[in-house]
Amino acid sequence: MPESRTSIPSCPHFGSCGGCQLQHLTYPAQLHDKASLLRTLLEVTGLALPKLQLHPSSPFAYRNRIRFTLAEVDGQFHAGYLIPIPPEPSNREPRASNLAFLPITECPIAAPILWRATETFLALLNQDTSTWLRNSHQLPDQLELFTTADESRLQLTLYLRTAAKSLPNKLTADFHAFCDTLRTRVPELIGAEIALLPTLSKQRSRRTEQPRPGPTWGIPGLNYTVSSLQPVTDNLQPATSYWVPRGAFFQVNRFLLPELLALVTNSRTGYLAFDLYAGVGLFSRALAAHFAQVAAVEIAEPAATALASTRLTNLRAIKATTLDFLSSAVLQRDRPDLIVLDPPRSGAGCKVCALLARIAAPTLIYVSCSPETLPADLITLTASGYTLAETHLFDLFPQTTHIETVAILTR
């Protein structure tokens, strides 16, 4: 560890917006603290732990996707974040809302094109004299942008809150004209959409609110390329390309994706592999180069549809929950050579882990976005005969407390 752990935050909004919690630390100090926390959480399992291998990232400009809140301040639209309001003294009336809007002027962890496109979008919106977004029937609420690793292509989603079941034709026409003009200033823009959210309520949450599709412009997604870290051979391509529709989950660190993909898929061979919680096929597409058959399982849309459109004869896309798929695989006595799983923050859970234990693949690679839920799953799996062979910390979210772990288990 270096002698100095502290750093001057590079973002003027550090401490206010809440998105980055660690900019006051040097990057080596951040990595050291995350590794210490992960080791502590894993030691609770009582397992014999292999040496934790660290995979650092470029600390800034790494995000390929970002989502801002939009709000009108003094007649001008701004991008920013909703932040908690400190409780008021008890002798005052309670606030109607416990959130306040914080306008921002930059975001150092985002790929440069994302903030440049945001500024251009706002400038164009604020100079537009029409009223297509300035009425009480549809209110701009959020702006999401997604770019390729090389920043050559860009997708945009504008979220509107409205009680209407559909938007007027004129708004659709105005949106198309707006996007045409925006592309003259941001030539990387290849597609955009308006997504419709319900009117604002106290239950406001990205996890519970399901947007409805609205008007679209251009191409409905990105062809995202992840480069290979190894020399090209007959069985290893220079890059793997993915079709990522607007709104589909995809890992956000554009710098570490090649390293993550290489660890999970390179040097893995056999007849059958399972890719569980597969998304658009980040791992399964690469595994298809090494396995005769790959079963990729995903239930969430639009990722499941994108996965099904994969044109690989040995990749079978299955729209099902992981629990239902594994229950069927147990009955059919399928025994893959490799299982890769990348569950949500809630973890795989005891039922899924019990089924994994019954299937008993020789190698199981668990990609975890939650070090709090991972230990319980590891205890269940190792109790069934697996050995924890490798642990890796991928710092996919520098400047934040988020930890991504890859655990490799063998039997």
Residues 379 and 346: their CA atoms lie apart, in Å, by 15
Residues 7 and 143: their CA atoms lie apart, in Å, by 31
User: What is the predicted pLDDT for the residue at 164?
Assistant: 83
Nearest alpha-carbon partner for 299 in 316, 322, 281? 322
User: For residue 1, what pLDDT band results from cuts at 50, 70 and 90?
Assistant: very low
User: For residue 209, what pLDDT band results from cuts at 50, 70 and 90?
Assistant: confident
Neighbours of 373 (CB within 10 A): 18
User: For residue 235, what pLDDT band results from cuts at 50, 70 and 90?
Assistant: low
User: What is the predicted pLDDT for the residue at 3?
Assistant: 64
User: What is the predicted pLDDT for the residue at 94?
Assistant: 46
Q: In sequence order, what are the residues at sequence separation of 6 or more whose Cβ sits closer than 8 angstroms to the Cβ of residue 329?
A: 274, 355, 359
| pLDDT of 210 strictly over 90 | no
**β-pair type (189-197, 291-298):** unpaired
Left if phi > 0, otherwise alpha if psi is -120 to 50, otherwise beta: which for 333? left
Instruction: Tabulate helix, strand, coil % of the chain (nearest 5).
Output: 25, 30, 45
Neighbours of 402 (CB within 10 A): 16
Tokens standing for residue 4: 């100095």
Specify whether the CB–CB gap between 124 and 27 falls below 8 A. Answer: no
Q: Using the CB atoms, write b or e for 55-92: b if 16+ within 10 Å.
A: bbbebbbbbbbbebbbbeeeeebbbbbbbeeeeeeeee
Tokens standing for residue 273: 């592999």
Per the omega criterion (within 30 degrees of 0), is the bond before 89 cis? Answer: no
Q: Per-residue pLDDT averaged across 384-400, rounded? A: 97
Residues 258 and 58: their CA atoms lie apart, in Å, by 13
Backbone phi and psi for residue 99, each to the nearest 5 degrees, phi listed first = -125, 145
Residues 339 and 342: their CA atoms lie apart, in Å, by 10
User: For residue 145, what pLDDT band results from cuts at 50, 70 and 90?
Assistant: very high
Single-letter amino acid, residue 280: V
Residues 253 and 191: their CA atoms lie apart, in Å, by 21
Percent of the chain exceeding pLDDT 70 equals 91
User: For residue 232, what pLDDT band results from cuts at 50, 70 and 90?
Assistant: very low
| pLDDT of 93 strictly over 80 | no
| pLDDT of 238 strictly over 80 | no
Q: How many helices (H) and strands (E) does the chain have?
A: 9, 17
User: What is the predicted pLDDT for the residue at 97?
Assistant: 62
Specify whether the CB–CB gap between 327 and 373 falls below 8 A. Answer: no
Q: CATH number of the domain at 65-219, please? A: 2.40.50.1070
Write the pLDDT tens digit of every residue in 10-52: 899 998 988 999 999 999 999 999 999 999 999 999 999 999 9
Rounded alpha-carbon distances, angstroms, from residue 66 to 15, 111, 112, 363: 19, 9, 11, 34
Residues 356 and 365: their CA atoms lie apart, in Å, by 11
R_g of the chain computed on alpha carbons? 23
Write the pLDDT tens digit of every residue in 213-227: 999 999 999 999 999
| pLDDT of 90 strictly over 90 | no
Q: CATH number of the domain at 27-60+224-410, please? A: 3.40.50.150
| Average pLDDT of the chain to the nearest whole number | 91
Tokens standing for residue 36: 């210490």
Percent of the chain exceeding pLDDT 90 equals 76
* Residue for token pair 């917006």: 17
Nearest alpha-carbon partner for 60 in 405, 394, 406, 395? 395
Rounded alpha-carbon distances, angstroms, from residue 411 to 28, 381, 384: 35, 10, 9
| Residue 353 annotated in active site | no
Q: Per-residue pLDDT averaged across 62-90, rounded? A: 88
User: What is the predicted pLDDT for the residue at 2?
Assistant: 47
* Per annotation, catalytic residue among 20, 107, 179, 369: 369
Question: Domain boundaries in the chain?
Answer: 27-60+224-410, 65-219
Q: Which residue has the higher pLDDT, 22 or 165?
A: 22
* Residue for token pair 């809007």: 101
Neighbours of 119 (CB within 10 A): 15
Q: Per-residue pLDDT averaged across 161-178, rounded? A: 88
Tokens standing for residue 385: 């005969």
CA angle 354, 356, 362 (to 5 degrees): 135
